[in-house]
Structure 1
Amino acid sequence: MTFCDIYIDDRLYIVMELIEGAPLGEHFSSLKEKHHHFTEDRLWKIFIQLCLALRYLHKEKRIVHRDLTPNNIMLGDKDKVTVTDFGLAKQKQENSKLTSVVGTILYSCPEVLKSEPYGEKADVWAAGCILYQMATLNPPFYSTNMLSLATKIVEAVYEPVPAGIYSEKVTDTISRCLTPDAEARPDIVQVSSMISDVMMKYLDNLSTSQLSLEKKLERERRRTQRYFMEANRNAVTCHHELALLSHETFEKASLSSSSSGAASLKSELSESADLPPEGFQASYGKDEDRACDEILSDDNFNLENTEKDIYSELDDELDISDNSSSSSSSPLKESTFNILKRSFSASGGERQSQTRDFTGGTGSRPRPGNLVLIAIKSNTTL
């Protein structure tokens, strides 16, 4: 976590930001332990970003950092430079000078140590010290004695960069930035112009990498868009198929339920009405007709036998009556036969009507023999 205090228009702004990476000073210690050094490309990459940051602060915001050290420069992913710790930063008016003696003495410029007014070029001196330390992994001015250290800084006495490791542009840039005279020292724009070719190369590489990243982003965007389109198409197709399947299932279920409902309704109706099925009704109708015919034939046979019995009984009674009274025999016999004829004719018509009503199940048939016997007995008595 890094807290950045920025003074803008004499107002203090505290900016809190979580920065990934490690300070540049830790990279120096790590490389020194491994007996390695920065490559020139990496050295220029870090220094160019530092120059761009100082140009933004000096020319656009008129802010002097005043404490630019390796511990206040963070290196993130792919050596991304972030300038931190603006606690001693000061925003000054144009063509004005600062007089406060602040900062880390190892990276302080001669005018600060001499308590002279200073400006943005104090940060240029500190940038030269950082470039020297990236090349040698040691600060340009170092001494255990503070007076000796101050003397070295004021006179700009430092050991030269080892030859054969870096190009002359590195040594020239260091010497120009570590000029003890503030008036002769270049500002950040002049330093940038000194390394313009390296900076243009860096910017070209940066532009190329940006274009490649944009193309990659466009490919990823198209791939993502195509993926989502296919996913939406598959989802629509799946929903359509599920709808068709559910519709077919519903139709089958409705048909089966309707057929089972009709069958159950038919069975319920037949059970409630106590009616046999259709095939059985036809056979049942034929059996019923056959039974009716048999019953009628039995009734006719019984009726004929009854009539014969009645006639025989009548003959016997008439014979007896003739023996007893011969005077009234002939009229009685004639009247008796007339009564029998009428009664049998009436019984025959009634039998026909009852034959028609037999299937309807109406009442029982009266026996005509009883009526005849009653009439005969009544006539005999008379």
Structure 2
Amino acid sequence: MELIEGAPLGEHFHSLKEKQQHFSEERIWNIFIQLCLALRYLHKEKRIVHRDLTPNNIMLGDKDKVTITDFGLAKQKQENSKLTSVVGTILYSCPEVVKSEPYGEKADVWAVGCVLYQMATLNPPFYSTNMLSLATKIVEAAYEPVPDGIFSEKVSAIIKRCLTPDAENRPDIVEVSSMISDVMMKYLDGLSTTQLVLERKLERERRRTQRYFMEANRNAVTCHHHLAVLSQEHYEKSSLSSSSSGAASLKSDFFENTDLPENFHHSSGKDVDKTCDEALSDDNCTTEKDVFSELDDELDVSDNSSSSSSSPLKDSAFGMIKRSFSALERQPQARQV
């Protein structure tokens, strides 16, 4: 079951009575046109007679949006057939129903005429505490006329046509709609303008939403790119730091586990080669052969001390140093002093 927003039209009547106010004519036509359109759909498209069209069964929502409710007494009839059941609210019942005669869709036209009269005067057109007197007023269509000077003549004319006691002379809902065609055209123009405004607003909202999502996607791509770059830089720094720490540990292990001269403990890279050259070309050395033999002894001692270690890196480092000194031994004995 659908939840209908708003309040019944009867509550609006009571509220305006308490405030001593009235419906404006524009608002009356706005509600009445919607009622005519709704009844045209029921009568011509669905062949349904509501049979209980009262202010309490007409809901007014936001901006007086009309919704017809309570179809408990509604009846779908065959074409050119009549209904005979006496149902509905007596205040809004047509003369055919009061006289227990067959009736059709024009019973709803009588009811909508009663609703139009009540919107103009805030009182039902037929009212009496005596049921016989009330029935007589309905059959004779005896009601107080709408006060002059408040609404246009068209309001009174439409009420008079809808409250025609003879069902044959009473117009159907299509004829009633044709009688207010000029007012209906203004109403439809207003609806068209409102629809265009809403479509433009919807288009602006759609474009704004599209720009928002496009910007969000670009920001996401940029963020992922920055994260990838930072991850790559972090990985490279970690690799460099791990390799440098490994080299430093290997260097410290080499100098700690070898018994080289003091000049080698305070030198690295090119300084080691420079120290070796200075040691070889030192004037205080008696002969190069003695130096080489002394270095051989040092290397032998270093080899003996490193034999207990099982590191292949240390063995390869000692081998390179030994080969370099062997190459120096094979050079010519004559050196410039």
Partner of 2:54: 69
Q: How does 1:1-382 map to 2 (within 5 A)?
A: 16-273=1-258, 276-277=264-265, 279=267, 282=275, 286=279, 360-361=296-297
Which residue identity is paired with 1:164? G
Partner of 1:8: none
For the structure 1 residues 277 and 93, does the alpha-carbon distance in structure 2 shift closer, same or farther, using more than 3 Å as the test? same
How far 1:231 sits from its partner (Å)? Answer: 1.7
For the structure 1 residues 174 and 274, does the alpha-carbon distance in structure 2 shift closer, same or farther, using more than 3 Å as the test? farther
Are 1:292 and 1:358, in contact at CA under 8 Å, matched by a contact in 2?
A: no
What's the secondary structure of 2:97's corresponding residue?
helix
Aligned residues: 288
Unaligned runs of 5+ in 2: 301-337
In structure 2, C-alpha distance between the alignment counterparts of 1:67 and 1:264, rounded to whole Å: 100
How far 1:260 sits from its partner (Å)? Answer: 2.4
Are 1:32 and 1:137, in contact at CA under 8 Å, matched by a contact in 2?
A: yes
Which residue identity is paired with 1:54? L
Deviations along 1:214-264, one digit per CA (max 9) or x if unpaired, are: 111111111111121122112222222232233233323322332222212
What's the secondary structure of 1:279's corresponding residue?
coil
Which residue identity is paired with 1:244? V
In structure 1, C-alpha distance between the alignment counterparts of 2:188 and 2:143, rounded to whole Å: 32
In structure 2, C-alpha distance between the alignment counterparts of 1:222 and 1:252, rounded to whole Å: 45
In structure 2, C-alpha distance between the alignment counterparts of 1:360 and 1:166, rounded to whole Å: 130
Partner of 1:304: none
Which residue identity is paired with 1:137? L
TM, length-normalised to structure 2: 0.79
> How many percent identity over aligned positions?
79
In structure 1, C-alpha distance between the alignment counterparts of 2:9 and 2:47, rounded to whole Å: 25
In structure 1, C-alpha distance between the alignment counterparts of 2:47 and 2:25, rounded to whole Å: 30
Higher Rg: 1
In structure 1, C-alpha distance between the alignment counterparts of 2:160 and 2:27, rounded to whole Å: 20
Which residue identity is paired with 1:45? N
Deviations along 1:80-124, one digit per CA (max 9) or x if unpaired, are: 000000000000000000000000000000000100000000000
What's the secondary structure of 1:17's corresponding residue?
coil
Which residue identity is paired with 1:138? N
For the structure 1 residues 274 and 146, does the alpha-carbon distance in structure 2 shift closer, same or farther, using more than 3 Å as the test? farther
For the structure 1 residues 112 and 286, does the alpha-carbon distance in structure 2 shift closer, same or farther, using more than 3 Å as the test? same
Unaligned runs of 5+ in 1: 1-15, 297-352, 363-382
